[in-house]
Amino acid sequence: MIRLLKEKEDTIQLMKEKEDIFMSTKEKEDNKADLKKGTVGNMKQSTDEDIDTSTKEKGDIIRLMKENEDYNNTIMKLKLDLEALKSLHEENCKLLESKKEDIIKLLADKEDNASMILQLKQDSLTKENEDILRLMKEKEDGNSIIAKVKLEMEALRSSYEEACKLLESKEEDVVRLLADKEDNASVILQLRQELEATKRLHEIHSQQLETRASQVKEELEHRIKEVELMLEDSIKRKREFEEVSKSRIQFWEQKGIVVNQFVGLQVQNVQDLRLCSVSFRHEILNCQKRWLEELAGLGQNLKVVTNAAEKYHAALAENRKLFNEIQELKGNIRVYCRIRPFQPGEDEGSNSVEYIGDNGELVLSNPTKQKEGGKNFTFNKVFGPTTTQDMVFKDIQPLIRSVLDGYNVCIFAYGQTGSGKTYTMMGPEKATEKEWGVNYRALNDLFNISHARRDMITYELTVQMIEIYNEQIRDLLGGGGSQKNVVTIHVRGQDLKTGNTSRGALHLVDLAGSERVDRSAVTGDRLKEAQHINKSLAALGDVIFSLSQKNAHVPYRNSKLTQVLQTSLGGHAKTLMFVQVNPDVSSYTETLSTLKFAERVSGVELGVARTNKEGKEVKDVRELMDQLSMLKDTISKKDDEIEQLQLLNTSTSKLKSNRQADHILKHSSSSPGITSLGKVSSVGSGAASDLDNFSDTSDRQSEAGSMLSIEPEVSGLGDVESDGRLSDASDGGNSTGAETDSSVSSVVDQGQEKASSAAKERLTKTVSRVQKLTVRKASGLRPKPRDPAIPKPSVPTGARRNTSTQGIPPARATSSAKRGP
């Protein structure tokens, strides 16, 4: 019993403890609920206050809330379980109480029974026994009941133990939940801290916002004050304005009245004007009528003027023709200007050629210097960029064909590098027949014509190609080759009927670029080459200048180029210059100087062109001259022999008398002419060797010397310095000629050299024949003297010069020309 009671007490104690735990759990739960409420509230607050709370925090809080809810549910469940256990425990307690009461009752009964027994003992022994037995039985029954109660107690105990175990497990759960709660509490604490930090931040932010708001508020208040002031001001102004507008309205109303009155007046005026306009219209119609009549009269007048203009144009064309004819007669160098087209990659906008006229007018202007204005030039012809090779050739064809009639023709292209000289003279690289330049077309044309005339005239065409490189003349057909070259076509024609011959030469010259060395910025060999080119072109310029000034001295000898072109520039040849122009504005300066040079060239008068035709007489002269030179050779040989014999005689007869010695001395001193004859040939050959490379000119030179050496009357020519090289040779020829003459007479007079007397006789005869023929021919061909400085001899110097240089074609020219092909 005591044990049971103790157990009961223990159980009650345990239950109390459980109750405490439950209470504390409940308390915690309440706290948690409070916390949750607070958290949720705070969260709500934070959500409301701070819209910038991160979604992560929100997620964590939501998760924690959910966990908290789960945790609450579990606690609720445990609470229910605990309530059930409590009710079970209370039932057990109640049962135990009732059992206890029963036991107490039984114990009381037992005590009563014991007292009764004792009483009974005292009362009756038999009865006592029976009673004892019954009591014993009752005790046994009581014992069995106690055993039963014990069993029940055992069962209760086991159930209680189970309940305790369950409670223990629940306690563990509670402990775990408590630990979770602690964790949650720490999380909540952390969150609270964060919340507090956020709150602080928020507070700071809100403080800032508040200060800002207060500032803004202040500003707004200030503005409101300002606006209020402005409003007041505007109200004031409005009032003023209203007052002013009132006065203005009054003014305008008054004005309106005045205007209405004015409009009324104007309407009246308009009506008057309408009436006037009607009368004007009538007048205008009348005027129109009159004008139409006048216009009809003017149309008729215009017709007359148009006719006059047409006639004027015709007269202009006629003038141009006449001008060309005059130029032809004067022998002006023809100048054709050709403007090349813009090449791919060049800017067609930067064109320096402003205008190209039909009659050879050209206006050059620099678009970058508009102020300067255009520069006008006039040439025989200006070919624009679209002119084809064929069109160019068609224009110069008659000139080229005149070579077949015995004229010397020179066509040369002048201009800066890249201006199209080679294109005009040769054509482009790998040219098609359509693109052929002057060279190919000229040769082709000359061959075709000579073929067509073969029944009447036989032509012998020889071609020579030379190049002047660094003042050296190279025969290009003999070997080597070059892009830039001096082509010469020699044409010798013989009339099959009359036997008359003609000799013409066509020089086609592609000059080097005319730009200045200092602008080309080259060095070394290229500089040397450029300097030579410049020297040649400068020499050409000097020759042109001298010719245009009609100077007595023309410096042909200053360069190989001018020597080569001497017969074309100074002789009675037909000369044409292509002045090539690059239209690009970057070449403006070069173009300008090129055109100025060309203008000067066009002013050069070479004299009337002469054909190199040889009649029978000239042919005789040529033959006689050939004989003469042969005889001269024979005489000089004989002279040498005589001299040798004399020397031999002097050395072997030292013992001869003084008379004999005097005679020998007299003989030797009276033979300078013989020495001079040797000089003649040496002068001739010297001249020839000097210009061996250019045989044409040198041949003429030696020939001139030869001619003059046998003609004492030609002494005047020796003074003519205008022909440079010719005059040099003439001088030599002149002196030697005089000497030759005296030597011839001395030889004839002395008659000592019997072996050569026959030859000398023939020589004398030949000389007199040549003199006669030459004088006759020359008087027929004599040109007008070019310069008054040139002595005008009784024997015509110009004629002789002409005869020697032009009238009679060079004896070795053909041979040199033939040297090429």
Ligand X SMILES: Nc1ncnc2c1ncn2[C@@H]1O[C@H](COP(=O)(O)OP(=O)(O)OP(=O)(O)O)[C@@H](O)[C@H]1O
Which single residue brings its beta carbon nearest to ligand X? Answer: 420
Judge contact between 338 and 578, C-beta under 8 A: yes
One residue of 418, 672, 712, 783 binding ligand X per CB under 6 A: 418
DSSP state of 803: I
Q: Which residues of 559-586 are buried (b: 16+ CB within 10 A; e: fewer)?
A: bbbbbbbbbbbbbbbbbbbbbbbbbbbe
Q: How far is CA 583 from CA 519, 521, 579, in A?
A: 18, 22, 12
Nearer to ligand X, 443 or 511 (CB): 511
Nearer to ligand X, 379 or 423 (CB): 423
CA distance 24 to 26: 5
Q: Indicate the SS3 state at residue 488.
A: strand
What is the closest distance, in whole angstroms, from the C-beta atom of residue 610 to ligand X in the complex? 32
420 has binding-site annotation: yes
Work out whether 420 is an interface residue with ligand X (CB under 6 A): yes
Nearer to ligand X, 120 or 353 (CB): 353
One residue of 264, 428, 478, 821 binding ligand X per CB under 6 A: 428
Work out whether 421 is an interface residue with ligand X (CB under 6 A): yes
Judge contact between 450 and 489, C-beta under 8 A: no
Residue span binding ligand X (CB under 6 A) among the ranges 420-428, 654-662, 671-679, 778-786:
420-428
Work out whether 513 is an interface residue with ligand X (CB under 6 A): yes
Nearer to ligand X, 341 or 481 (CB): 341
Helices 658-669 and 616-652: angle between axes, nearest 10 degrees: 150
Nearer to ligand X, 415 or 724 (CB): 415
297 has binding-site annotation: no
CA distance 333 to 410: 10
Expressed in angstroms, the distance from the first to the final Cα of the chain is 165
What is the closest distance, in whole angstroms, from the C-beta atom of residue 443 to ligand X in the complex? 19
For the record, the structure tokens of 277 come out as 């306009």
What is the closest distance, in whole angstroms, from the C-beta atom of residue 339 to ligand X in the complex? 8
Nearer to ligand X, 299 or 341 (CB): 341
Work out whether 417 is an interface residue with ligand X (CB under 6 A): yes
Nearer to ligand X, 510 or 639 (CB): 510
Nearer to ligand X, 517 or 630 (CB): 517
416 has binding-site annotation: yes
Q: What is the DSSP string of 72-108?
A: HHHHHHHHHHHHHHHHHHHHHHHHHHHHHHHHHHHHH
What is the closest distance, in whole angstroms, from the C-beta atom of residue 509 to ligand X in the complex? 12
CA distance 196 to 189: 10
Q: Indicate the SS3 state at residue 578.
A: strand
357 has binding-site annotation: no
Residue span binding ligand X (CB under 6 A) among the ranges 414-422, 689-697, 743-751, 756-764:
414-422
Nearer to ligand X, 418 or 603 (CB): 418
Work out whether 419 is an interface residue with ligand X (CB under 6 A): yes
Cβ neighbors of 187 (< 8 A, separation 6 or more) are 64
Site for ligand X in 325-384 (CB under 6 A): 340-341, 343
String of contacts with ligand X for each residue 287-326, x by CB under 6 A: ----------------------------------------
Residue span binding ligand X (CB under 6 A) among the ranges 48-56, 254-262, 411-419, 518-526:
411-419
Helices 524-548 and 588-602: angle between axes, nearest 10 degrees: 40
CA distance 174 to 180: 9
What is the closest distance, in whole angstroms, from the C-beta atom of residue 707 to ligand X in the complex? 40
Judge contact between 586 and 366, C-beta under 8 A: no
Nearer to ligand X, 394 or 619 (CB): 394
Judge contact between 706 and 625, C-beta under 8 A: yes
One residue of 42, 184, 580, 735 binding ligand X per CB under 6 A: 580
What is the closest distance, in whole angstroms, from the C-beta atom of residue 479 to ligand X in the complex? 22
562 has binding-site annotation: no
Site for ligand X in 751-810 (CB under 6 A): none
What is the closest distance, in whole angstroms, from the C-beta atom of residue 415 to ligand X in the complex? 5
Beta bridge partners of 457: 495
3-state secondary structure 710-757: CCHHHHHHHHCCCCCHHHHHHHHHHHHHHHHHHHHHHHHHHCCCHHHH
Number of residues that bind ligand X (CB under 6 A): 14
Nearer to ligand X, 465 or 554 (CB): 465
422 has binding-site annotation: yes
CA distance 325 to 320: 8
Residue span binding ligand X (CB under 6 A) among the ranges 81-89, 346-354, 422-430, 704-712:
422-430
Cβ neighbors of 108 (< 8 A, separation 6 or more) are none
At residue 650, what is the residue type?
Answer: T
What is the closest distance, in whole angstroms, from the C-beta atom of residue 372 to ligand X in the complex? 26
What is the closest distance, in whole angstroms, from the C-beta atom of residue 604 to ligand X in the complex? 22
Q: Report the binding-site residues for ATP.
A: 415-422
Question: For binding to ligand X (CB under 6 A), which residues are involved?
Answer: 340-341, 343, 415, 417-423, 428, 513, 580
